[in-house]
Amino acid sequence: MDISVVIPIYNEEGNIPLMYERMTKVLSQISSDYEIIFVNDYSKDSSLSMIKNLAKKDEHVKYLSFSRNFGHQVAVSAGLDFSKGDAVAIIDGDLQDPPELITDMYEKYKEGYKVVYAKRSSRKGVNVFKKMAYKLFYRILDILTDIKIPLDTGDFRLIDRVIIKHLQEMPERNKFIRGQIAWIGYKQTFVEYDRDARFMGETGYSFSKLMKLAIDGITGFSSKPLKIASNMGIIVSAFSFCIIVYALISQYVMHTPPIRGWASLIISVSFIGGVQLIAIGIIGEYISRINNDVRQRPLYIIEESSKKEEEDKLIKEN
Ligand code: UDP
Ligand code: MG
């Protein structure tokens, strides 16, 4: 198999037909030996039946379907595990990422790059607030982590099979795939593109899913937040020590007792309380991820797939 494409799908019924059409056109120009893998992440609409119909009609189309919503990163991981191509592209199912760019990516891949990621030079269909939040996140991530995760890139990229082999050696349950790929290294390059607005439907990334991805990215690739928490502790302790010295001097040396009243008391108690809770929260985020890994549960559960269907058919025939 020359090339596989992994497409995570969560309620994309309005996008699947055009996606299939454009993708087929692009891939058939590259090679006749390709596969399109749709990973259905428990869509609530008719996405699954559409994908199954495509798989019936076209042998290039394969599918996986999860037993519940496992999230975008897990859907991509499952697709990569399932893929057979020497080169594998990851692309969103909402046509925000143009399939035609894969042609350029494949050219770079042929030049010997193991990873060709797509860098967004602009984004359409995203409000100013969200755009700023994205920009800010990538910059914070850059400051906090020691590895260089490319700025303003998502998971839209083409990778060599060797990268997938290394990804499979990384067993963490809370995935941040673009970070993992940066961590792996090898010769990497990028192509630039303007990110379109979603063709149909609504985003499947709720605010809480986005926050989880952001924290997975930070905790997965940096211990600096823990350092920041302990530094916060040192600063607050030093500050309160100064206040103690001030209080003692004014009481016993100057004989003018420090300001009375509950305001100063309440402010300092709640300030220290806040700092403590933030520090505990940061530790908690790391511990919950350790916990996820210690449980050793499977990363995803596949309820249906084109592979299972083929196997069932074979059993019936024999
Ligand atoms: N997606 C998924 N599971 C989810 C949410 C999203 O597989 O729980 C898929 C979705 O179908 C799309 C890709 O992940 O192909 C990116 O999601 P989306 O376009 O909703 O996110 P946005 O582009 O708004 O950040
Ligand atoms: Mg999208």
Across 28-42, 98-112, 226-240, least confident range: 226-240
- pLDDT at residue 259 in the model: 66
Ligand 1 atom closest to the Cα of residue 126 is: 24
Mutate to test the pocket of ligand 1, among 64, 94, 210 (most ligand atoms within 8 A of CB): 94
Question: Which residue ranges have their beta carbon within 6 Å of ligand 1?
Answer: 8-10, 12, 41, 69, 71-72, 75, 92-94, 96, 198, 203-205
- Kindly indicate the confidence band of residue 67, based on its pLDDT and cuts at 50, 70 and 90: very high
Residue 4 has pLDDT above 70, yes or no: yes
- pLDDT at residue 148 in the model: 86
pLDDT above 90 as % of the chain: 60
Nearest CA to ligand 1 atom 17: 204
What does the pLDDT look like over 119-128, one tens digit per residue? 988 777 778 8
Ligand 1 atom closest to the Cα of residue 202 is: 20
Q: Residue 233 Cα, ligand 2 centroid: separation in angstroms?
A: 40
116 phi/psi in degrees, rounded to 5: -125, 105
- pLDDT at residue 240 in the model: 82
- Kindly indicate the confidence band of residue 35, based on its pLDDT and cuts at 50, 70 and 90: very high
Q: Residue 96 Cα, ligand 2 centroid: separation in angstroms?
A: 6
Across 102-111, 253-262, 274-283, least confident range: 253-262
Distance from C-alpha of 82 to C-alpha of 85, rounded to nearest angstrom: 10
Distance from C-alpha of 250 to C-alpha of 270, rounded to nearest angstrom: 24
Residue 184 has pLDDT above 70, yes or no: yes
Distance from C-alpha of 169 to C-alpha of 171, rounded to nearest angstrom: 6
State the pTM of this model: 0.86
Across 84-88, 234-238, 253-257, least confident range: 253-257
**In the chain, domain spans:** 3-222+305-317, 224-295
Nearest CA to ligand 1 atom 8: 71
| Average pLDDT value for residue range 212-226 | 91
Does 3-222+305-317 carry CATH code 3.40.718.10? no
Residue 204 has pLDDT above 90, yes or no: no
The strands making up 3-9's β-sheet, listed across from edge to edge, are: 188-195, 115-123, 153-160, 87-90, 3-9, 34-40, 61-66, 302-305
- Kindly indicate the confidence band of residue 258, based on its pLDDT and cuts at 50, 70 and 90: low
- pLDDT at residue 271 in the model: 81
What does the pLDDT look like over 119-158, one tens digit per residue? 988 777 778 888 888 888 888 988 998 888 888 888 999 9
pLDDT above 70 as % of the chain: 98
Distance from C-alpha of 304 to C-alpha of 306, rounded to nearest angstrom: 7
| Average pLDDT value for residue range 159-168 | 96
